[in-house]
């Protein structure tokens, strides 16, 4: 192949529109594949939307992984990255390629024997062995993550010779984020352990977009625990300050708000995620993600309807309770009035009968009869007041309770 001509052609695509850029880069990548030649140009940008060199390399390695989704392909890709990608943009491209190609080839998880064979070749390689092992580790771990094999992922990262061969890369934020993902989803790990790993990555000033994505993915996939929704909501909102156009982060924010019962704002977030979701992409599946987003949108709608119905029922129950309270007050008041009336009426009858007997008793002087009548009236009046006061006190205590 005429590598100089290809470089010139790619350079001329810098100002091309996106349709021409995608088409021509794809054609050049297919030429490399047809002639079984590895691209010879260098990449010094992480702009996957506008850099022709990066787009062409991306197309090339996408087809390579599609044709042979193995750790050996991952090792070759890692070697090409080391030779042709600038140090300033090496990490974001490595992370995006390793996890992205893992996602699109997630149906081809390699066996323990295949991993062991690849590990042997990597360990026997040159000084770049730990870099190649790290890329291969991310690639295999990405497959396990895409299939939600939480326990297998945890075991692979902690004990696999391939992961061990990554050397100092085992301390990277993305490696720890993958361990946190496995811990969140595993039934064997505690919530506290998972959140500890989460905090280590989140507090790291060097955390990358890929690490954030993996962390929030694990938190979203975790079995329910206290504070899960709040942690997901707040973390996604913070991450969006740095990556405002990330559809997946808007999706995570929508999920967190949904878990917190904040249905109105959750609907805004999920609609934003759907609007930002690209119609095409080599390392993502538009149909799969769109299906997930629409399913979450329906869940948010259902939650909102249920919340509104619950609010109506609560208001109805409160109105019923108030009506019952007013009715009870009315009944208690009526009973009190009745008791008071009976007490007064009984006192009047007793006074009338008693005073009549005294009046008809001709053996007593008039003054004596008046004193007896007055005493009888006073006693009955006191009795009536006692009954009325006691009834009022009892009714007041019941009302206050």
Say if CB 134 and CB 142 are below 8 A apart: no
H helical segments located in 1-86: 3-12, 18-34, 52-67, 71-84
Tell me what pLDDT residue 322 has: 73
More confident residue, 103 or 118: 103
Grouping H, G, I as helix, E, B as strand and the rest as coil, residue 43 is strand
pLDDT exceeds cutoff 70 at 171? yes
Q: How many CB atoms lie within 10 A of CB 71?
A: 23
Please give the C-alpha separations between residue 180 and each of 93, 103, 245, in angstroms, as whole numbers.
22, 18, 25
Structure token digits, residue 39: 């691209």
Percent of the chain with pLDDT over 70: 78
Residue 342: pLDDT band by 50, 70, 90 thresholds? low
pLDDT of 383 reads 63
Lowest average pLDDT, out of 98-112, 243-257, 301-315, goes to 301-315
pLDDT, position 318: 74
Q: If you search the block for the tokens 């929704």, which residue do you land on?
A: 229
Cα separation, 198 vs 152, in Å, equals 19
Please tell me the predicted confidence (pLDDT) of residue 339: 55
**Confidence band for 321, pLDDT divided at 50, 70 and 90:** confident
Strand-pair partners of 43: 85
Q: How far does CA 181 lie from the centroid of its chain?
A: 14
Assigned token pair, 297: 């949108």
Tokens of 196: 């500890």
Q: Measuring CA to CA, which residue among 259, 248, 250 is closest to residue 223?
A: 259
SS3 370: helix
CA–CA distance from 100 to each of 68, 88, 122 (Å)?
A: 15, 20, 22
pLDDT in tens, 351-392: 555 555 555 555 656 566 566 656 656 665 666 666 666 666
Summarize pLDDT for 22-61 with one digit per residue, the tens.
999 999 999 999 999 999 999 999 999 899 999 999 999 9
């Amino acid at each position: 192949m005429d590598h100089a001509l290809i470089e010139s052609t790619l350079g001329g695509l810098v100002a091309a529109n996106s349709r021409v850029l995608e088409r021509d880069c794809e054609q050049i990548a297919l030429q490399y594949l047809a002639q079984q030649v590895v691209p010879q140009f260098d990449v010094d940008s992480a702009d996957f939307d506008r850099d022709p060199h990066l787009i062409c390399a991306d197309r090339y390695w996408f087809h390579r992984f599609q044709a042979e989704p193995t750790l050996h392909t991952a090792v070759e890709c890692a070697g090409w990255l080391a030779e042709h990608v600038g140090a300033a943009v090496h990490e974001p491209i490595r992370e995006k390629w390793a996890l992205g190609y893992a996602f699109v080839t997630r149906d081809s998880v390699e066996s323990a024997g295949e991993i062991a064979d690849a590990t042997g070749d990597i360990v026997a390689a040159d000084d770049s062995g730990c870099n190649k092992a790290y890329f291969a580790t991310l690639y295999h771990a990405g497959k396990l993550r895409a299939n939600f094999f939480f326990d297998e992922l945890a075991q692979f990262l902690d004990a696999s010779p391939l992961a061990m061969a990554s050397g100092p890369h085992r301390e990277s934020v993305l490696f720890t984020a993958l361990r946190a993902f496995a811990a969140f989803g595993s039934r064997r790990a505690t919530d506290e352990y998972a959140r500890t790993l989460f905090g280590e990555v989140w507090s790291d000033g060097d955390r990358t977009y890929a690490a954030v994505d993996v962390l929030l993915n694990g938190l979203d996939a975790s079995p329910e625990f206290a504070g899960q929704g709040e942690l997901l909501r707040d973390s996604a909102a913070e991450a969006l300050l740095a990556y405002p156009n990330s559809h997946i982060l808007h999706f995570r924010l929508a999920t967190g708000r949904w878990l917190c019962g904040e249905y109105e704002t959750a609907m805004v977030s999920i609609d934003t995620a759907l609007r930002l979701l690209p119609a095409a992409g080599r390392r993502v599946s538009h149909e799969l993600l769109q299906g997930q987003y629409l399913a979450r949108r329906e869940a948010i709608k259902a939650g909102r309807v249920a919340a509104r119905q619950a609010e109506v029922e609560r208001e109805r129950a409160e109105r019923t309770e108030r009506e019952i309270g007013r009715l009870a007050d009315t009944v208690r008041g009526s009973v009190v009035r009745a008791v008071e009336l009976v007490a007064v009426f009984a006192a009047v009858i007793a006074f009338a009968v008693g005073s009549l007997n005294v009046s008809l008793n001709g053996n007593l002087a008039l003054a004596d009869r008046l004193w007896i009548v007055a005493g009888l009236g006073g006693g009955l009046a006191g009795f009536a007041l006692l009954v009325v006061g006691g009834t009022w006190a009892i009714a007041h205590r019941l009302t206050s309770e």
